[in-house]
């Protein structure tokens, strides 16, 4: 997402799938606007 944002430089809302929802990815995209579905196996989702 960071490479895409640098190349295109657009104001966008990113919509990644549930596989994207990891601690490392979440820390990497703090400056992006995004929405995602979380996996149903997460305790917080239940």
Residue tagged 């579905």 (tokens): 37
Instruction: List the chain domain ranges.
Output: 2-45
> 38: helix, coil or strand?
coil
Structure token digits, residue 20 = 């994207």
8 A C-beta contact, residue 36 and residue 15: yes
Q: What is the pLDDT of residues 1-46, one digit of tens each?
A: 778 777 877 788 888 888 888 888 888 888 888 887 777 777 766 6
What pLDDT sits at residue 13?
Answer: 86
Which DSSP letter does residue 13 get?
E
CA distance 41 to 27: 20
């Amino acid at each position: 997402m960071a490479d895409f944002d640098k190349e295109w430089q657009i104001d966008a809302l990113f919509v990644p799938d549930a596989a994207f929802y990891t601690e490392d990815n979440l820390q990497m995209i703090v400056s992006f606007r995004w929405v995602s579905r979380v996996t149903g196996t997460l305790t917080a989702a239940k």
